[in-house]
């Protein structure tokens, strides 16, 4: 099975850029959902904590419990708790969810400022606070999410305005219940749309891992990719001119060519659509169709770099780096290289 290699230097470089942009380490919340975008949640949690980050964000309670020891608070985005935990808070995504939460749980109310995916409408804020209090919950935050912060459009501005306008009312209502609120709306792209961080926290995911892609007309932070995928050689042969390799023989050698199979395939996250159309950063061509557990390359190297930037690999299959990273097999070996 292949190996994922992680660069501490790149991660810390990215954190330095983010901390400078948002006004300090205390405002950073690292997004570690879905195994830290394929990087390994506990590995990234440990290193982020050593850097000085105190907040994290995940999707599931199970994910939160795996990394909670490293942080002061972990926000769970997509799951209703069975029972509360003193270091966990949970995103409330609708009015209907409130009645399902156990008493005493810490929650962060999501406002739909234009994403139209999850969250209450701004005019439901007071009703939501009343219901949260009646359920015996403690509201510790108000949050939202940008839908197009990485593109040059007016959408970032009007979502930002809606969220900022809501803050005074939320603070006044929170005083009635003795709640202290934090506010956060920015994802990775949103954090770099303004020189001023107006919130208590930013939720940084893809920028942390060095794969943020912004519209060319917007600021382009000099992030470094943290993750590289490597394959270990299984077998080598000389493919004779006219011979074909792999399922359905979609690649035919035009001359004698050294071909090796490597221990990564689509079961490990190597997207099958890259078959016979991808070239590694070192110029090694992928030959034929990717199999479930291995793939053939025009190489005889013992260890082969498959990709060192998920965005570049994603372009070969017409998708985005997020998808490539999130689909990386959790059973792949992961190790720090510096």
Q: How far apart are CA 228 and CA 304, in angstroms?
A: 11
DSSP label of 52: T
Q: How far apart are CA 43 and CA 22, in angstroms?
A: 24
- Find residue 287's DSSP bridge partners: 296
User: Which of 103, 157, 177, 247 is flagged as catalytic?
Assistant: 247
* Catalytic hit among 33, 251, 313, 322: 33
Segments in the chain forming alpha helices (H): 8-22, 33-37, 41-51, 61-67, 125-134, 155-177, 188-191, 310-317, 321-326
247 catalytic residue (yes or no): yes
**What does the block give as tokens for 158?**
């009007």
What is the phi/psi pair of residue 158, to 5°? -75, -30
For residue 87, which of 60, 109, 67 has the smallest C-alpha distance? Answer: 67
Q: Is 28 helix (H, G, I), strand (E, B) or coil?
A: strand
CB 125 within 8 A of CB 169: yes
The yes-or-no answer on residue 33 being catalytic is yes
User: 231 Cβ partners below 8 Å, 6+ apart?
Assistant: 2, 262, 263, 264, 295, 297, 303, 304, 306
The gap from C-alpha 162 to its chain's centroid, in whole angstroms, comes to 25
Please, are residues 61 and 80 in contact by the beta-carbon 8 Å criterion? no
* C-alpha to C-alpha distance for 260 and 297, rounded to whole angstroms: 6
8 Å CB contact between 268 and 291: no
Name the residues annotated as catalytic.
33, 247
């Amino acid at each position: 099975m292949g190996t994922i290699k992680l660069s501490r230097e790149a991660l810390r470089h990215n954190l330095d850029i983010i901390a400078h942009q948002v006004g300090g380490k205390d405002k950073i919340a690292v997004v570690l959902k879905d195994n830290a975008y394929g990087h390994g949640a506990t590995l990234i949690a440990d290193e982020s904590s050593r850097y000085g980050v105190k907040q994290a964000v995940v999707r599931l309670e199970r994910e939160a419990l795996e990394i909670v020891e490293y942080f002061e608070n972990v926000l769970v985005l997509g799951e209703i708790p069975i029972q509360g935990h003193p270091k966990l808070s949970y995103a409330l995504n609708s009015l209907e969810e409130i009645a399902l939460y156990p008493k005493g749980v810490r929650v962060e109310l999501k406002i739909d400022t234009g994403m139209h995916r999850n969250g209450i409408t701004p005019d439901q804020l007071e009703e939501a606070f009343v219901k949260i209090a009646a359920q015996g919950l403690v509201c510790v935050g108000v949050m939202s999410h940008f839908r197009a912060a990485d593109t040059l459009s007016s959408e970032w501005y009007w979502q930002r305005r809606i969220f900022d306008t809501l803050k005074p009312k939320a603070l006044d209502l929170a005083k009635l219940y003795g709640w202290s609120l934090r506010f956060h709306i920015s994802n990775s792209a949103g954090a770099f749309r303004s020189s001023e961080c107006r919130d208590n926290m930013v939720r940084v995911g893809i920028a942390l891992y060095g794969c943020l892609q912004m519209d060319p007309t917007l600021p382009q932070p000099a992030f470094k990719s943290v993750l590289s995928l490597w394959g270990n050689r299984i077998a080598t042969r000389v493919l004779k001119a006219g011979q074909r390799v792999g399922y359905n023989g979609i690649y035919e050698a035009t001359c004698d060519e050294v071909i090796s199979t490597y221990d990564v395939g689509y079961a490990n996250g190597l997207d099958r659509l890259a078959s016979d159309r991808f070239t590694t950063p070192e110029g090694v061509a992928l030959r034929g169709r990717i199999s479930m557990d291995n793939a053939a390359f025009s190489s005889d190297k013992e260890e082969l770099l498959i990709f060192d930037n998920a965005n570049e690999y994603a372009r070969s299959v017409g998708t985005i780096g997020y998808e490539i990273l999130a689909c990386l097999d959790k059973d792949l070996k992961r190790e720090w290289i510096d």
